[in-house]
Amino acid sequence: MTVRDLLNAKGREFESIDPDTTIKQAMTRITQKRIGSLLVMQEEELIGIITERDMFRVILERGTEGFNVKVRDVMTVNIVIGILDDAIEEVSALMTNNRFRHLPIMEGKTVVGIISIGDVVKAQAQNLSIENRYLKDFIIGKYPG
Ligand code: AMP
C-alpha cells in the first residue's frame, strides 16, 4: 500500500495558513477543524509547518503574549515531505524515527495532501484485518487446491 492509495481513500484536502497569521488565529483554526497541524503557504508555496506542539510551546514560554506571535516565527521550516509512491511502511518509520506526526505529500512543488500518523495507523490496521480474514479463510479451507 502506498501514500497514493491512502490519499485516494482519505481525500487530498489540506488546511493551510498564511505565515503572518497570529498563533491565536492558528489555534482557533486547528480547534475548529479538529486537526493537529497547518501547512504554512505563501503564494501557493509550502514554506513551513506548524502543529499543536509548536503552539503549546509558545504559550508555555510567553504566556498570553504568545497569542500575538506570528506563525512564521514559530513554524518549522525544515520540512520532511513524502511522495505519492512512498510505501506506508516507509512513511510510518519516517514519522516514528523523527518524532513528528504529520507529513505533507508533494508532487514536485505542489502539495497534494497531508497524512497524519493517525491515518497511517488506520491504514495499517485495515491491511492487517484484511490479511487476517484471508488467512482465516485459508485455514478453514475456503480456497480450492
Ligand atoms: P507533531 O508531532 O507533528 O505535532 O510535530 C512535532 C514537531 O515536529 C513540531 O515542532 C512540528 O513543527 C514538527 N513537524 C511536524 N511535522 C513535520 C514534518 N513533516 N517535517 C518537519 N517537521 C515537522
pLDDT in tens, 58-116: 999 999 999 999 999 999 999 999 999 999 999 999 999 999 999 999 999 999 999 99
Ligand 1 proximal residues by C-beta, below 6 Å: 36-37, 49-54, 76, 79-80, 100-104
Mean pLDDT computed over 117-127: 89
Domain total for the chain? 1
C-alpha to C-alpha distance for 117 and 99, rounded to whole angstroms: 10
Q: Kindly give the number of the ligand 1 atom that is closest to the alpha carbon of 104.
A: 19
Q: Tell me whether residue 63 is in a domain.
A: yes
- Domain extent for 105: 3-139
pLDDT tens for residues 8-20?
999 999 999 999 9
Question: What is the pTM assigned to this prediction?
Answer: 0.89
Q: Tell me whether residue 64 is in a domain.
A: yes
Q: Are 144 and 137 in contact (CB under 8 A)?
A: no
Q: From the CA of 93, how far away is ligand 1's center (Å)?
A: 14
What distances in angstroms separate CA 85 from CA 29, 42, 133, one per listed residue? 30, 26, 26
CATH number at residue 16: 3.10.580.10
C-alpha to C-alpha distance for 50 and 71, rounded to whole angstroms: 7
pLDDT tens for residues 22-62?
999 999 999 999 999 999 999 999 999 999 999 999 999 99
Q: Tell me whether residue 144 is in a domain.
A: no
Q: Tell me whether residue 53 is in a domain.
A: yes
Q: Which of 90, 100, 120 to mutate to test the pocket of ligand 1 (most atoms within 8 A of CB)?
A: 100
Q: From the CA of 138, how far away is ligand 1's center (Å)?
A: 42
Q: Tell me whether residue 145 is in a domain.
A: no
Q: Which of 17, 39, 51, 115 to mutate to test the pocket of ligand 1 (most atoms within 8 A of CB)?
A: 51
Q: Tell me whether residue 56 is in a domain.
A: yes
